Amino acid sequence: LPRQPAASPLLALDIGGTLIKLVYTASCGGGGAGAAELRFAKFERRRLQECFQFIRAEGLLGCNGGTRPSRENMTLKATGGGAYKFADDFREKLGVCLDKLDEMDSVVSGANFLLQNIPGAAFTHMNGQRNPINVSPNNLFPYLLVNIGSGVSILKVTGNRKFERVTGTHIGGGTMFGLAKLLTGCKSYDEFLQLSQKGDNFVLDLIVKDICGELVCQKQGLSTSTLASSFGKVITSKKMLTDYKPEDLASTLLSAFTYNIAQIAFLVASLLGLRRVFFGGSYIRGHRSTMENISYAIDFWSQSQMQAVFLRHEGYLGALGALMSYGD
């Protein structure tokens, strides 16, 4: 970790389109001088006031016996679009300035920090198995980083601080969760994920068998259960929205968006000749079947030539990168 004055916590923020992510240091008891651990917290962006309360209550501005000279001089490292939008609120409510950092720069720094410093931070999740993967600085670069937040950013990373934002898509986590709120009435993302877990996407999804019939599929060597059209069954059904179970709607939404993003990731990785694709962003949320579906899609489209890799603390890459910049 970057060096810091004793007893003075470090705090960095990533204020995104949906969530505010905080990464901060806390000295751990009995750890000896300078020992610190990283802690993580997140707030919905609309709950900025709760975030301020948390920062105060946790003494993250160094006021609990901290050594900061005065808050007026205090600057917090912050990234994400909200670092610009809410800079005045931070000054007025907390009396701190935000040092605004480039979002992509921060995400890449955060990913590289995790990959190079935290053993077991990277893992695969396929066929029900979670396996850590070993990355060394010699075999790490280049890789594709797909950060799935409100929107999706896709970056080619060639080294520490060396990257290019290749492309992205506006059809991301915000789109899915927005539709989920409208269609299922879910109140939180975790509730949505739990619903999806209990649902069956084949109630709404059209699969190849539905179009061709089982016999033709077999003759032509097509896999009967391959998705032909997400939500496609709705068109020919007399059912209204309220006739569908929220669980089935949630399951259909999650598979539609997850497969779509994974396919875009595969296509970009193919164009760039990259075989390893790391996924980050709060969309993934450590959720088992999201990771399974991404892995399946990458493996399917690449004919096992590419690997989907996930990261612990995947939603905090930008905030971690911002925290690392205290050492610059």
Planar angle of CA 274, 276, 278, nearest 5 degrees: 120
Residue 108 Cα distances to 82, 113, 147, 317, angstroms? 18, 8, 10, 7
- Work out how close the CB of 152 gets to ligand ADP at its nearest, in angstroms, rounded to a whole number: 10
DSSP state of 315: G
- Work out how close the CB of 189 gets to ligand ADP at its nearest, in angstroms, rounded to a whole number: 3
Helix (H) or strand (E) holding 277: strand 276-280
**C-alpha–C-alpha distance, residues 94 and 114, integer Å:** 30
C-beta of residue 210 within 8 angstroms of C-beta of residue 231: no
Does 296 sit near ligand ADP (CB under 6 A)? no
Does 177 sit near ligand ADP (CB under 6 A)? yes
For β-strands 97-100 and 276-280, DSSP reports them as: unpaired
DSSP state of 251: H
Nearer to ligand ADP, 153 or 201 (CB): 153
Of 120-128, 231-239, 277-285, 320-328: span binding ligand ADP (CB under 6 A): 277-285
Does 176 sit near ligand ADP (CB under 6 A)? yes
Count residues contacting ligand ADP (CB under 6 A)? 18
Does 9 sit near ligand ADP (CB under 6 A)? no
Question: Please, what is the angle between helix 246-272 and helix 173-184, to 10°?
Answer: 170
- Work out how close the CB of 310 gets to ligand ADP at its nearest, in angstroms, rounded to a whole number: 14
Residue type (1 letter), 54: F
- Work out how close the CB of 18 gets to ligand ADP at its nearest, in angstroms, rounded to a whole number: 4
Nearer to ligand ADP, 207 or 253 (CB): 253
Residues 200-219 contacting ligand ADP, CB under 6 A: none
Does 286 sit near ligand ADP (CB under 6 A)? no
Binding mask 34-53 for ligand ADP (x = CB under 6 A): ----------x---------
Does 109 sit near ligand ADP (CB under 6 A)? no
One residue of 9, 62, 80, 199 binding ligand ADP per CB under 6 A: 80
C-beta of residue 80 within 8 angstroms of C-beta of residue 14: yes
Residue type (1 letter), 65: G
Nearer to ligand ADP, 13 or 274 (CB): 13
- Work out how close the CB of 62 gets to ligand ADP at its nearest, in angstroms, rounded to a whole number: 26
Distance of CA 256 to the CA centre of its chain: 17
Backbone angle region of 63, left / alpha / beta, with phi > 0 → left and psi within -120 to 50 → alpha:
alpha
Nearer to ligand ADP, 44 or 88 (CB): 44
Does 168 sit near ligand ADP (CB under 6 A)? no
Backbone angle region of 94, left / alpha / beta, with phi > 0 → left and psi within -120 to 50 → alpha:
alpha
Does 257 sit near ligand ADP (CB under 6 A)? no
**C-alpha–C-alpha distance, residues 177 and 189, integer Å:** 7
Of 136-144, 156-164, 169-177, 209-217: span binding ligand ADP (CB under 6 A): 169-177
Binding interface with ligand ADP (CB under 6 A): 16-19, 44, 80, 149-150, 173-174, 176-177, 189, 281-283, 285, 315
